Copies of this chain bind each other. A is one copy, B any other.
């Protein structure tokens, strides 16, 4: 009896330490409370604590350091992203969709992924731009490039923004290795662990992943057909006092919705009143048939940071993103990019991107692509409708359809079953912080030309 009580007390001490490690109250390298203080605080004998610590050390959770006590092992508690935040079903984990999409077998069909298939890209234009790079001057072949990135590309972006009504000098633009890196760099710059960030619900699932990596609190605002719900937005600013709002204004991912000018004005006014910085991710801008309202343009880059990239419209194989913001912020972001990546995107890649987007055929190719996508959206929506999968909002552009499955079907379960047939889907709740999109799914119409995908969808949505 006495031994059993001792064992229970030992277990209790072990559990106390383990739960502090799990909650990151104790982190690797931290000294574990001394035997004496632990014994006192849990009202157990020192020998019970010694026994517990020895067992934890045997497990590798803590380690003794000669002469200085016990410490949390570094090997037991590195920062496994999968462990941060609520444990989700791996099939509704944002990283699950990313990894399945990236690592899918060549034979797999990927309606859940976020990019165009090879034959939808302007391959000849890309090859031509690469051949031009092979002949280009030596700087593109052998230098890191300037701290802010290729001047010609930044000037091109500056002129493009100007034509959209946004004044940003080339010096207010920083090139980055990708749209994701743009967000990551801004998070490093503006956020500290424990800060609060507002995202849309639904929103791009990797927003959740990158914010998790920065260990910030995430709150969400419902995204409607006209943009974020302005009343809910204003209420959240008061209740949660976020530092940052991260959104897509045009062709919102995953809903395909576009923010109206009225909503943009209300959102920006509320953000200004509460001193919230807005990151407007314009990654799908090139797919818009005509320009819609932009927070960055309304605001003139005072508190709005505009980011974007060429990965979606040009190619995900040669990535280059940008950040346009206040000059002093760009200066500080440049320092941060040097510290964490030495330079920005590869000089070679910025040269290829610049050659590709300034080629005379580029504009024509984009228009062809837009028309092809418009047809695909209509066709795929009709085929999904025939399966009872409803597109509530037909986007003005881009390749996403945000659809509701029939009969309150669990999309994560459907995605798991589809994967057995080599079809990678993107179930709704990976996009939804509130978990309110259980029966929704995002489809990429450009990845659905194989009729097999509809057969699999019929199977996973009918006999579920």
Contact assessment for A141 and B338 in the assembled complex, using a CB-CB cutoff below 8 Å = no
Interface residue stretch chosen among A8-16, A66-74, A390-398, A413-421: A66-74
- Partner among B210, B329, B348, B352 whose Cβ is within 8 Å of the Cβ of A78: B329
Cα A398 to Cα B446 with chains together (Å): 49
Contact assessment for A138 and B118 in the assembled complex, using a CB-CB cutoff below 8 Å = yes
Contact assessment for A98 and B342 in the assembled complex, using a CB-CB cutoff below 8 Å = yes
* Chain A contact residue count (CB 8 A cutoff): 98
Query: B-facing mask of A88-126, CB < 8 A → 1, else 0?
Result: 000000110011001100000000000111110101001
Q: In chain A between 218 and 266, which residues have their CB closer than 8 angstroms to a CB of chain B?
A: 238, 241-244
CB distance from A437 to the nearest CB of B (A): 20
Contact assessment for A141 and B126 in the assembled complex, using a CB-CB cutoff below 8 Å = yes
Interface residue stretch chosen among A37-45, A190-198, A287-295, A447-455: A190-198
Copies in the complex: 2
Asked if A335 CB lies within 8 Å of chain B CBs, one says yes
Cα A99 to Cα B331 with chains together (Å): 11
- Partner among B63, B102, B142 whose Cβ is within 8 Å of the Cβ of A146: B102
Asked if A343 CB lies within 8 Å of chain B CBs, one says yes
- Partner among B119, B273, B277, B311 whose Cβ is within 8 Å of the Cβ of A74: B277
Contact assessment for B79 and A338 in the assembled complex, using a CB-CB cutoff below 8 Å = no
Q: Which residues of B contact A146 (CB under 8 A)?
A: 102-103
Q: In chain A between 181 and 195, which residues have their CB closer than 8 angstroms to a CB of chain B?
A: 181, 184, 188-190, 192-193, 195
Asked if A140 CB lies within 8 Å of chain B CBs, one says yes
Cα A352 to Cα B130 with chains together (Å): 11
Q: Which residues of B contact A54 (CB under 8 A)?
A: none
Cα A181 to Cα B428 with chains together (Å): 32
A28 closest partner in B (C-beta): B243
Q: Which residues of B contact A67 (CB under 8 A)?
A: 238
- Partner among B116, B317, B347 whose Cβ is within 8 Å of the Cβ of A317: B347
Cα A339 to Cα B343 with chains together (Å): 20
Q: Which residues of B contact A193 (CB under 8 A)?
A: 193
Known: A127-B141, A177-B177, A340-B181. A74 touches B276 (CB 8 A): yes
Contact assessment for A79 and B336 in the assembled complex, using a CB-CB cutoff below 8 Å = yes
Contact assessment for B316 and A188 in the assembled complex, using a CB-CB cutoff below 8 Å = no
Cα A194 to Cα B412 with chains together (Å): 39
Query: B-facing mask of A168-181, CB < 8 A → 1, else 0?
Result: 00000000011111
Known: A74-B275, A275-B63. A95 touches B142 (CB 8 A): no
CB distance from A429 to the nearest CB of B (A): 18
Cα A360 to Cα B305 with chains together (Å): 47
Q: Which residues of B contact A103 (CB under 8 A)?
A: 146-147
Asked if A134 CB lies within 8 Å of chain B CBs, one says yes
Q: Which residues of B contact A118 (CB under 8 A)?
A: 138-139, 141-143
Asked if A456 CB lies within 8 Å of chain B CBs, one says no
Known: A146-B103, A317-B144. A127 touches B134 (CB 8 A): yes
CB distance from A95 to the nearest CB of B (A): 5
Cα A1 to Cα B311 with chains together (Å): 66
Asked if A82 CB lies within 8 Å of chain B CBs, one says yes
Asked if A319 CB lies within 8 Å of chain B CBs, one says yes
Contact assessment for B141 and A315 in the assembled complex, using a CB-CB cutoff below 8 Å = yes
Q: Which residues of B contact A212 (CB under 8 A)?
A: 339
Contact assessment for A188 and B79 in the assembled complex, using a CB-CB cutoff below 8 Å = yes
- Partner among B241, B315, B339 whose Cβ is within 8 Å of the Cβ of A210: B339
The 6 A-B residue pairs with the shortest CB-CB distance in the complex, in nearest-first order: A209-B339, A118-B138, A130-B134, A118-B142, A317-B347, A180-B342
Taking A29-B196, A317-B348 as given, write out 14 further A-B residue pairs in contact, using a Cβ cutoff of 8 Å, ordered by the A residue number: A68-B241, A81-B335, A82-B335, A98-B338, A127-B135, A130-B141, A130-B348, A143-B317, A178-B342, A180-B342, A184-B340, A188-B213, A319-B346, A349-B349
7 inter-chain pairs at a CB distance below 8 angstroms, sorted by A residue, are A79-B188, A80-B335, A81-B332, A99-B334, A119-B138, A123-B138, A315-B348
